[in-house]
A and B are shown apart, each in its own frame.
Chain A
């Protein structure tokens, strides 16, 4: 196993679920409850020192019990390593602790995840839609059950339904 993964596993034996290294990318899966502690650790530990927020992303796995996956990717400018931290949340309770207190950039990135996938972030200062309109009520576009052509609106366009 990758030394960073071992370090995190020994520090968080409860929360650590697994590590995967593929094509040179290290991905660590943790329990949702441990996510904030793990991130806080990799941000502050002098050996890991991940001070640069790369991206926050989300993946929808509709067939799984824990449907949504939240992905944080961070980088250490001094140590030059990249770590991807992943966690799963179920659909009926998709709530994750926000990382805005660790990386300020998480603010916009988490808002995007909320907007696109509907995952809510605990203690986020300003959790609103960001790319879709504020009053958009048709759901979350990047979920797999959301049709590519959108919902509803197309049916109201006369020129699309005009038989002539």
Chain B
């Protein structure tokens, strides 16, 4: 039996069944339950109003906006360079990828080519960030649905990677390491060595998580056949990333519209079959393995060279020159206070972040500030499908469904 059919036949009482008539008439009442905004499993401040029939969800209405900070409005008041730290605060679990997506959009607007080494560094760090994101997701998702052990193991490994970020740019979470036209600073030899060591350290750890979960009957019962969505519906809702690929669509911008150093690396895109939470979990595990392959290839192929494009009217001068050279200081000052002169036009640039397609739609009318900047946040768009996917499941499954989207409210509410 297909999972789709199972969902309707198992959960609904058949009114024409002879035994239904002999059931005693009970007083039934619909119950309205507020879940959140203060709930440990809503990954931030998300409220969902659930209409319940017993413990089954009949309708759910997500209430968003508790973390709305008006980032899109703030973008219109600042220069392009000044917006980079704002992007850290969108998806605060994976700041690097947000920086990356934004810088790519501005580079597309300005038509800048990024030097080779910078592209490799960007890809490498983005994949490290993808592993961090998936580790965070795996730990919290397992914790939410009752498997507590994995959380400690994934956070142990996540901490190693966050320490690299600390060494790389001085911050663990709000990194702002990407720059328009390149990156802020290069890897140190000790960091490169640590990355190399991690490549040997990590694969057995992934197997460890898998053992924890795939032998756990509770985990399997609560993920298999839960939150099923067909490929067609998933596309219609605009779902992306592992949430879409779980339904069997291999839409991955790294392959569909190759960017950065991805076309030079060999990797595969794992695709699910059933479109349930388990498939999406499996995809994320496999993506971590693929990320390791990409990191390995970047390390091998990377050659010394500049890490920032040399377009003085747009890109920042090297930091050491800013402190010693007057012209560079003036250049830095003018780029931040007035910005560079962007051509009039509009672009959309999507990047495959670990949650899904993170896109920036920028309208420019010339001058140093964006006229309009729209963020296509995967978390927000995934929440649009929540009501559809939660219908007919138990209250406890609502938590699984938040988790399976990998939502972060900072990005959802912007």
Residues of A within 8 A of B359 (CB): 54-55
Q: A51-B235, A73-B361 are in contact. Are A142 and B251 (CB under 8 A)?
A: no
| Chain A residues whose CB sits within 8 angstroms of the CB of B371 once the complex forms | 59
Min C-beta distance of B387 to chain A, whole Å = 9
Given contacts A59-B372, A116-B72, A130-B64, contact A51 B384 (CB under 8 A): no
Q: Is B70 an interface residue (CB 8 A)?
A: yes
A22-B345, A73-B361, A148-B73 as given contacts; A104 in contact with B372, CB under 8 Å? no
Chain B residues within an 8 Å CB radius of A27: 346
Q: Of A52, A84, A109, which is within 8 A of B235 by CB?
A: A52
C-alpha gap A131/B383 in the complex (Å):
12
Contact B376–A54 (Cβ < 8 Å): yes
Residues in A neighbouring B374, C-beta threshold 8 A: 55, 57
Q: Is the CB of A104 within 8 A of B236?
A: yes
The answer, among A51, A80, A105, for a CB contact under 8 Å with B381, is A105
**Count of chain B residues with a beta carbon within 8 Å of a chain A beta carbon:** 43
| Closest-CB distance, B69 to chain A (whole angstroms) | 10
Q: Which of B74, B256, B347 contacts A148 (CB 8 A)?
A: B74
Q: Contact residues of A with B, CB < 8 Å?
A: 22-23, 25, 27, 51-55, 57, 59-60, 71, 73, 77, 80, 82, 84, 103-105, 107-109, 112, 116, 129-133, 141-142, 146, 148
28 cross-chain CB contacts under 8 A: A23-B108, A23-B109, A25-B348, A27-B346, A54-B238, A54-B376, A55-B238, A55-B374, A57-B361, A59-B363, A59-B372, A60-B372, A73-B348, A80-B256, A103-B238, A104-B237, A105-B236, A105-B239, A109-B381, A112-B380, A116-B72, A129-B65, A131-B68, A132-B68, A133-B65, A141-B73, A142-B72, A148-B73
Q: A53-B235, A57-B374 are in contact. List 14 more A-B contacts (CB 8 A).
A: A22-B347, A23-B108, A53-B237, A54-B350, A54-B376, A55-B238, A55-B359, A82-B348, A103-B236, A104-B385, A105-B237, A105-B381, A116-B72, A130-B64
